[in-house]
């Protein structure tokens, strides 16, 4: 018998038999039948299962947690001040902005500054029908149009230090005037930027002093424990500061008194440009940044924000040395609520320290100006008269001049003004013989 004949007489193997002939196949579903509906959909697309895995890993939740740098960012954004985040690459600056925009319920536009030209921010010229009659308008980019259409939002300029000086100069107008080409962004659009230190940025540049002086600078770091918990699916939640309308008048008055008192005591810190390039590219004191600090402090008072968050924001505005000196001053100042004092001025005792006296009297006048009535104006003079009784009328002189100009012409001159008559007449705040 040949080999071929021998093979033809053998019983067929299991693999050669039809599936239906298998003794165990009759009551068992096939592999294809045992797949779930989702599995069958994945079988037709090799990337579907991978995409589902990525989606599952992207699912996360947030939980309230104390995080001063997140709160400082939210505080500065609530105060509508431009913020610049300093940090190494890959530590979550962009993710924080996405969470902040979601918490505020506003659209987020991300612009990579390092890949743009100056004209992308100054606008591209478009020639109309008659340039001699209508001029040449500067067309804004699409992201600016979307924000203007929405009426509010958050624009995030990333990789700012990698942008050449010409691009940084073009961004000045966007940050300061909210002008992008011929388009003006709404006041409700917030500006946040991020940058890496020049040492770790590709082709990094130091920020120009004019641009740096328009931002609140926040150092962005990572906490290993936060990252570890985030890998488990839970990240800290950004707490959005809520301004309490009832606190606003006192918050404004307290902040004005504190900043004015500090600069009166330390006039040399009103403007101080650092000597080194790195220092000029960060926060430093100037009249502009003091106004930013005033807004941050008032917003902190009105929201009851965490003191560490307020401290980080204040230092980010005027720099480390000046900011820490201001915070020490505020800690010792401990001003009473000027509105409560105006409600019962006779029960108030003037502070003993001269800097506290000046700061408080400035706050009192600011509180009167915020809600001007005859009763509050006269109560202000009662408070100022205590400085005369304490033998320090010179401390109250400036506050007296500011309070005098708030007088309605129908209001009589109160008795508490007597000690300041000569001074006020010389300054022109009161007419002669009043």
**pLDDT > 90: percent of the chain:** 39
Residue 129 has pLDDT above 80, yes or no: no
Dump pLDDT digits (tens) for 194-203: 988 766 555 6
Residue 29 has pLDDT above 60, yes or no: no
CATH number of the domain bearing residue 183: 3.40.50.300
Contacts of 406 (CB under 8 A, 6+ apart): 365, 368, 369, 372, 377
Dump pLDDT digits (tens) for 309-336: 999 999 999 999 999 999 999 988 877 8
Going through 163-224 in order, the beta strands assigned E by DSSP cover 179-180, 183-184, 189-195, 216-219
Give the residue with greater pLDDT, 290 vs 120. 290
Last residue of a domain, one of 214, 229, 252: 214
Q: Is residue 77 domain-resident?
A: no
Q: Is residue 229 domain-resident?
A: no
Give the residue with greater pLDDT, 83 vs 126. 83
Dump pLDDT digits (tens) for 167-192: 888 888 898 889 998 899 999 999 99
Q: Is residue 316 domain-resident?
A: no
Domain limits at 193?
83-128+135-214
β-pairing, 124-125 vs 138-139, is antiparallel
How many residues make up the chain in this entry? 434
Find the range with the poorest average confidence among 29-38, 113-122, 391-400: 29-38
Q: What confidence score (pLDDT) does residue 191 get? A: 95
Q: What is the mean pLDDT of the chain?
A: 83
β-pairing, 108-112 vs 153-158, is parallel
- Interatomic CA distance for residues 224 and 41, integer angstroms: 39
Q: What are 290's two structure tokens?
A: 């003091």
Q: What confidence score (pLDDT) does residue 434 get? A: 46
Q: What confidence score (pLDDT) does residue 373 get? A: 93
Q: Give mean pLDDT, residues 86-111.
A: 90
Q: Give mean pLDDT, residues 94-122.
A: 90
Give the residue with greater pLDDT, 144 vs 127. 144
Rounded to 5 degrees, φ, ψ at 241 are: -65, 135
- Interatomic CA distance for residues 343 and 162, integer angstroms: 55
Contacts of 245 (CB under 8 A, 6+ apart): none
β-pairing, 124-125 vs 216-219, is unpaired
Rounded to 5 degrees, φ, ψ at 219 are: -80, 125
Q: What confidence score (pLDDT) does residue 41 get? A: 57
CB atoms under 10 Å from CB of 75, counted, come to: 28
Dump pLDDT digits (tens) for 395-420: 888 888 889 889 888 898 777 677 77
**pLDDT > 70: percent of the chain:** 83
According to DSSP, the residues that pair with 218 across neighbouring strands are 85
Q: Is residue 163 domain-resident?
A: yes
Asked if 205 and 168 touch (Cβ cutoff 8 Å), the reply is yes
Q: Is residue 419 domain-resident?
A: yes
Residue 305 has pLDDT above 80, yes or no: yes
Contacts of 389 (CB under 8 A, 6+ apart): none
Q: Is residue 358 domain-resident?
A: yes
Nearest to 340 by CA among 227, 212, 245, 250: 250
Most confident of 63-67, 271-275, 352-356: 271-275
Nearest to 155 by CA among 113, 123, 217: 113
Q: Is residue 49 domain-resident?
A: no
Q: What are 258's two structure tokens?
A: 């504190």
The model's confidence at residue 37, banded by pLDDT at 50, 70 and 90, is low
Last residue of a domain, one of 214, 242, 267: 214
Q: Is residue 191 domain-resident?
A: yes
Last residue of a domain, one of 161, 181, 214: 214
Q: What confidence score (pLDDT) does residue 137 get? A: 79
Give the residue with greater pLDDT, 89 vs 251. 251
The model's confidence at residue 276, banded by pLDDT at 50, 70 and 90, is confident
The model's confidence at residue 223, banded by pLDDT at 50, 70 and 90, is confident
The model's confidence at residue 83, banded by pLDDT at 50, 70 and 90, is very high
Q: Give mean pLDDT, residues 221-228.
A: 89
Residue 113 has pLDDT above 60, yes or no: yes
Q: What confidence score (pLDDT) does residue 204 get? A: 62
- Interatomic CA distance for residues 397 and 361, integer angstroms: 10
Q: What angle do CA 321, 70, 277 make, to 5 degrees?
A: 35
Q: What is the DSSP string of 283-306?
A: ----HHHHHHHHHHHHHHHHHT--
Q: What are 180's two structure tokens?
A: 């992008």
Tally the domains of the chain: 2
Q: What are 39's two structure tokens?
A: 């599995």
- Interatomic CA distance for residues 82 and 289, integer angstroms: 11
- Interatomic CA distance for residues 138 and 258, integer angstroms: 43
Find the range with the poorest average confidence among 36-50, 80-94, 191-205, 310-324: 36-50
Find the range with the poorest average confidence among 21-30, 169-178, 291-300: 21-30
């Amino acid at each position: 018998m040949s080999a071929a004949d021998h093979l033809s007489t053998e019983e067929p193997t299991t693999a050669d038999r039809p599936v239906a002939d298998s003794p165990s196949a009759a009551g068992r579903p096939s592999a294809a039948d045992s797949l779930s509906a989702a599995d069958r959909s994945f079988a037709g697309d090799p990337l579907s299962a991978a995409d589902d895995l990525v989606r599952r890993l992207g699912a996360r939740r947030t939980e309230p947690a104390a995080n001063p740098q997140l709160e400082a960012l939210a505080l500065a954004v609530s105060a509508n001040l431009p913020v610049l985040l300093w940090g190494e690459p890959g530590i979550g600056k962009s993710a924080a902005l996405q969470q902040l925009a979601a918490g505020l319920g506003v659209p987020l536009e991300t612009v990579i500054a390092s890949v743009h030209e100056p004209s992308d921010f100054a606008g591209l010229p478009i020639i109309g029908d008659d340039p001699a009659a209508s001029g040449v308008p500067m067309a804004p980019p699409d992201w600016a149009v979307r924000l203007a259409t929405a009426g509010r939002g958050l624009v995030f300029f990333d990789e700012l230090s990698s942008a050449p000086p010409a691009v940084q100069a073009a961004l000045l107008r966007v940050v300061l005037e909210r002008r992008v080409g011929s388009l003006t962004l709404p006041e409700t659009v917030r500006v946040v930027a991020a940058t890496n230190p020049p040492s770790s940025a590709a082709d990094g540049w130091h920020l120009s002093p004019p641009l740096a002086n328009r931002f609140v600078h926040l150092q962005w770091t990572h906490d290993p424990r936060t990252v570890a918990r985030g890998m488990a699916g839970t990240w800290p939640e950004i707490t959005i500061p809520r301004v309490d309308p009832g606190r606003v008048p006192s918050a404004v008055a307290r902040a004005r008194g504190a900043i004015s008192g500090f600069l009166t005591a330390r006039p040399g810190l009103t403007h101080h440009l650092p000597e080194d390039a790195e220092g000029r590219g960060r926060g430093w004191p100037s009249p502009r940044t003091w106004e930013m600090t005033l807004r941050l402090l008032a917003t902190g008072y009105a929201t009851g924000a965490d003191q560490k968050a307020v401290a980080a924001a204040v230092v980010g505005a005027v720099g480390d040395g000046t900011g820490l000196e201001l915070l020490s001053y505020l800690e010792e100042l401990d001003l009473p609520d000027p509105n409560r004092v105006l409600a019962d001025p006779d029960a108030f005792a003037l502070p003993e320290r001269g800097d506290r006296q000046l700061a408080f009297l400035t706050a009192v006048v600011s509180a009167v100006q915020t809600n001007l009535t005859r009763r509050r104006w006269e109560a202000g003079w009662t408070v100022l008269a205590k400085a005369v009784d304490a033998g320090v009328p010179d401390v109250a002189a400036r506050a007296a001049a500011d309070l005098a100009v708030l007088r309605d012409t129908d209001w009589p001159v109160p008795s508490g003004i007597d000690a300041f008559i000569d001074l006020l007449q010389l300054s022109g705040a009161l007419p002669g013989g009043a």
